[in-house]
Amino acid sequence: MMTFDNADELHKIKKWHANPQMVLRELTDDSRSLCRFGVKFGAHPEVTRSLLQLAKDLDIEVVGVSFHVGSGCFDASAFHDAVVTARKVFDEAAELGMHLEMLDLGGGYPGADCSTGITFAQIADVLRPALASMFPATRIIAEPGRYFVSNAYTLAVNVHARRVVEAKDQEAAKSFMYYINEGLYSSFNCLYFDHAHVSPKVLVKDGVYVHGQEVGNGETHACSIWGPTCDSMDVITRDGQLPELDVGDWLYFDAMGAYTVAAASTFNGFRRCHVIWTNTEAHRLLI
């Protein structure tokens, strides 16, 4: 099973595959999402009928329709609109004597612990009645990768260097630059490619485990946090507020997962982060 959204792809598949099963990817309105895919993928509604006709002429089986409203969608109605467009494609196929049996709802769904934007429940509230009325007997699938891994792990990083930035104004407070062993080319590539926002917290200070505790009487300083590579764009945050840290201290970042270690590289020779599996629910058996 493969997707297509243009005539060239159909001709290519016809040449190299004897009995393909094709899914027409529709172009959706992704203007309500942070990560938009329409610029790269999707057949405009004006050409879906002609593509279906071409597939029929080439004797290529089309089994369904797919869409992706984009990641970081902030308007659940975008999913409803995409389903409406998919219904149009199904109707066009029926008029051409073709039977479509599957609808792929795409991905980009927020995790269950989402604290900003729309929630998975809000999306489900929109999709459930739309699918019931427009696709009551159609096989429905989706690609909810982000939903499952948006909060897959906690990332612990070590401060291996620091710089004190003295204020030009004597009355202003000093600030700090901290350099850690993870950056944009590894676990924090989500900052660049996925519009993620992260919040550092202190894990170990002066060799003492301080998770969830107040550090340094609550006093904080302005700071920036940098990755380990030679790239000056390898920065995690420029406007952080943390207690004064020293080399050897540790920070941690909650709710890490989607588009982090999966896309990590070894740029500049730095290794990918080491994964330690834990089970924080005592009543569950380790697998």
Domains and CATH numbers, the chain: 2-148 (3.20.20.10), 153-265 (2.40.37.10)
What pLDDT is stored for residue 115 in this prediction? 62
Cα 245 from Cα 135, distance rounded (Å): 57
The three-state DSSP-derived secondary structure of 180-236 is: ECCCCCCCCHHHHHCCCCCCEEEEEECCEECCCCCCHHHCCEEEEEECCCCCCCCEE
Q: In Å, how far from its chain's centre is CA 41?
A: 17
User: What are the pLDDT digits (tens) for 83-96?
Assistant: 999 999 999 999 99
- The values of phi and psi at residue 253, to 5°, are -130, 120
For residues 124 and 44, give the distance between their C-alpha atoms in angstroms, rounded to a whole number. Answer: 25
DSSP state of 275: P
Q: What angle do CA 96, 98, 99 make, to 5 degrees?
A: 145
Residue 71 has pLDDT above 90, yes or no: no
Give the 3-state secondary structure of residue 71.
Answer: strand
Segment 191-249, tens digit of pLDDT: 888 888 899 999 999 999 999 898 988 899 999 999 999 999 999 999 999 999 999 99
Tell me if residue 230 is catalytic: yes
The more confident residue out of 111 and 105 is 105
More confident residue, 22 or 116: 22
Q: Is residue 117 pLDDT above 80, yes or no?
A: no
Which residue in 35, 190, 223, 230 is the catalytic one? 230
The conformational region for residue 7 under phi > 0 = left, psi -120 to 50 = alpha, else beta, is alpha
Q: Is pLDDT of 106 > 80?
A: yes
pLDDT-above-70 percentage for the chain: 95
Tokens representing residue 101 in the block? 């049996």
The answer to whether 247 and 158 are in contact (CB under 8 A) is no
> Which of the two residues, 71 and 101, has the higher pLDDT score?
101
φ/ψ region of 108 (left if φ > 0, alpha if ψ in -120 to 50, else beta) reads left
